[in-house]
Structure 1
């Protein structure tokens, strides 16, 4: 089958305009999962994908859930070699504020880019419809040229990724035997830079907490009770300030007990990457690195745990001024975790830390905003080297291993519920404005992405 690869790549090049037409047709379906007004559009998107899979010879169906439907497909031929499960999502973010779009959000537009590339501008062009279609079009090319795929492929598309995936875990649990494969393929990640492909091997985990402190039984006049009555905003901010020390280390008891240093080979590869710390910070209007002293920016955002305060609420925040001592104050705090850290242990350490500072006449309550552990793809597994070689051959640049500061919960679900590692290969650029007005996907990302998946499928067949 791998002998067909050259012809498959030629077909992808010749068929690019038709591939774009199919992508544009898909993008025009406004599948916004968070807004009930678009429920039928989400179903239309799922059914559109089901039709596409059936055209490619998959046994495919739109499967009902309590929310938006899943799309599941399995190829019909009994191909030899490994079995992969490709995952993507067909839902998109809302388009607000719509007045900031230069073109209609669901009418894909080709725009000349300053670097000579072409941008596909539309909601979902990058996240995740463009990325999803790179794989489908690679499958289409293989089927057209050779009549079959080089390995066994199953598909899972969901329609609630942008709204927290409430139906996904129950669906995986109920269909674990059907959906289990040798490895999962996930396309919702980035290139290293505009010309260098990357495979994301490290995902940080996440713990989300909301803490609310109550002092007096009602709001108080600051002239009558100031200084004598405890102010919950003072108390809250004093506690939050103790979460990190002067060197940027997090002070929770046992927080670093399960944190390991980077493997030497990974650290050396990252050191060779053309990463400019100053430019990274300058692009957001900053210049002085924060966080743990002695740790580089790249290491901090990819491979070190964090504690961040995401919001504080308390007292009067309306127009004008009100001299009030509030009864309550609250904060939202998140922890990004690295491999080895237990989310439950970190949550309890945070709560114990806050409680240790509470006066006897004040109370504190906590609200759980979810948790997921960090994940790392085994560097000695059978999937990584063939995929890296395939990407290097396509892009003409050595493909790199990357981490990501974010969290992709589906990857953890695949590991915990289906026993599969996930290979995370994406072709998005950092300036794609996902979730924002004028979202775009580079035409080169779409074209080379299709060719990259074609090569990866061939590499796995060997």
Structure 2
């Protein structure tokens, strides 16, 4: 029986087994796997062991493999089944729960809450990020195993324990074991829906350049009454240079900055326009009303598929209470760029530094320090896997699945591409109000149930 032939029975199995699926998820959610706090190291090992035992029930050979930090759990098929080879990625660690007094119930005591109007939610730390999400995939696999006796694809599972504190151990692990994990495609569940009824495939992740800039003028702070008007003020020098980065239309003026920035295909842009994301809806919730990005661009382009530059912090001179008439000797700023398409982070870094240097007076000094260089990730919109996945999602949710770029990044996905040579299919079922990283984190019961059904459909589609 092919995965496609088995799909109706698999979906029925998912529906019939929902209560048991929730019980397994709740057992997982009770484990306090806070990765950033050494006090919870044993709990992280317990979560890894939970995942390993669960993978064994799916017919995978599971191991807890050591890293420089918490272990990564690997599940591999006993023997290849001849289908496409995929690597599923998720993480078992969670964020700290502080402030604890804002939780309505204990964060590791999962519960179902009825919000009325037929909406029920799962409340617990990790309910969405990422235990609930990764369990949608494992429960879909479990249903196939129950119905057909096997998994629909040649599936390798990689569940890490340090995503919430930087994935440092995983980066080295992937590089050291690259030959073992060079498969056909990665599947990533740590993403979201567009809306509670509209599914989404994340087709791009923005890259990053993060720079510290320090401008030094005089060899000490100066009395502004004695030196004002004659001595260079590094705060004025730096802010003038930073202000020149954007023109009045919101475009970035650094020469060569837009090299490698693609235009969206017409059909994809039409899909995004049809979502009708308005400034009132998006900015109104934070007390703003006027988009600050490039004029002539859709708001959704500004936050997902266009490059940006932001000044993340600036300091110089006296900032305490009261007055101090001083000309500072130094001014500092933190500046980040979000990259898209084929922008080269090294070239953007160099162009930025050249741009600032050209605006620094001859008797001042400028220094730079880098805190991050990462290229963007863009999947081809016409990828057969994406086309099949959009159809599978539409079949489950009854609405066309949109393809949207993520404004941020999932660092390990970049390594899957650069180190393993694999594209990643990024599908998740989180919602904007899931309170991820906040007290009272939740995951809609519909997201969990229909998310599981969605993965069953996607796996059948990919198996072909």
Please report the TM-score for the alignment, with normalisation by the length of structure 1: 0.96
Q: 1:230 to 1:111 in 2, by over 3 A?
A: farther
1:87-236 matches, cutoff 5 A: 87-113=89-115, 115-236=117-238
Change in CA separation of 1:222 and 1:437 when aligned onto 2, cut-off 3 Å: farther
1:246 aligns with 2:253: no
- Of 60, 63, 66, which residue of structure 2 is paired with 1:61? 63
Aligned to 1:386: 388
Deviation at 1:454, TM superposition (A): 1.0
Q: Is 1:377–2:408 an aligned residue pair?
A: no
Alignment of 1:445 with 2:447, yes or no, is yes
- Report deviation, 1:322: 4.2
Q: 1:330/1:113 Cα in 2 relative to 1: closer, same or farther (>3 Å)? A: farther
1:428 lines up with 2:443 in the alignment: no
Deviation (angstroms), 1:114: 5.4
Choose which of 340, 360, 363 in structure 2 pairs with 1:361: 363
User: Which structure 2 residues correspond to residues 258-407 of structure 1 after superposition, within 5 A?
Assistant: 258-407=260-409
Q: Is the 8 A contact 2:214 2:368 kept in 1?
A: yes
Q: Secondary structure at the match of 1:424?
A: strand
Checking the alignment, whether the CA contact within 8 Å between 1:30 and 1:42 is kept in structure 2 is yes
SS in 2 for 1:39: helix
The answer to whether the 8 Å contact 1:86/1:184 transfers is: yes
Summarize deviations over 1:203-252 as a string: whole Å, max 9, x none: 21111111122223333444444444333222221111111011111011
C-alpha deviation, 1:28, in angstroms: 1.8
Give the Cα–Cα distance (whole angstroms) in 2 for the partners of residues 425 and 132 of structure 1. Answer: 11
Tell me the residue number matched to 1:17.
Answer: 19
1:77, CA displacement in angstroms?
4.0
- Asked if the contact 2:273/2:298 (under 8 Å) is kept, the reply is no
Which residue of the partner structure matches residue 237 of structure 1? Answer: 239
Q: 1:439 to 1:251 in 2, by over 3 A?
A: same
Q: 1:318 to 1:53 in 2, by over 3 A?
A: farther
Q: How many angstroms apart in 2 are the aligned matches of 1:58 and 1:304? A: 41
Unaligned runs of 5+ in 2: none
| Partner Cα distance (1:226, 1:37) in 2 | 54
* Structure 1 SS opposite 2:81: coil
Cα-Cα RMSD:
1.7
Aligned residues of 2:279 and 2:290 also touching (Cα < 8 A)? no
1:388 Cα deviation after fit: 1.2
- Work out whether residues 317 and 331 of structure 2, in 8 Å CA contact, stay in contact via their aligned partners in 1: yes
Deviates more, 1:100-109 or 1:45-54: 100-109
Please state how far the C-alpha of 1:276 moved relative to its aligned partner.
3.0
Contact 2:278–2:299 under 8 Å retained in 1 = no
Q: How far apart are the structure 2 equivalents of 1:324 and 1:221?
A: 5
In structure 2, the partner of 1:461 is: 463
Q: Distance in 2 between matches of 1:328 and 1:292?
A: 32
3-state SS of paired residue (1:113): strand
Distance 1:271 1:83, change over 3 A: same
The 3 A distance-change label for structure 1 pair 181 and 282 is: same
- CA distance 1:319–1:115, change in 2 (3 Å): farther
Shift of 1:319: 4.7
1:224 and 1:129 map into 2 onto residues whose CA distance is 63
Aligned residue for 1:408? 410
The answer for unaligned runs of 5 or more in structure 1 is none
Give the 3-state SS of the residue equivalent to 2:334 in structure 1.
Answer: strand
Give SS of 1:383's match: helix
- Check 1:222–1:65 CA distance in 2 against 1; reply closer, same or farther (3 A cut): same
SS at match of 1:33: coil
State the TM-score, normalized to the length of structure 2. Answer: 0.95
Contact kept? 2:97, 2:125, Cα under 8 Å? yes
Greater Cα shift, 432-441 or 211-220: 211-220
- Cα gap change, 1:114 to 1:203, in 2 (>3 Å): farther
Alpha-carbon distance in structure 1 between the residues aligned to 2:373 and 2:160? 21
Q: Distance in 2 between matches of 1:335 and 1:445?
A: 33
8 Å Cα contact 1:77/1:148 also seen in 2: no
Deviates more, 1:229-238 or 1:55-64: 229-238
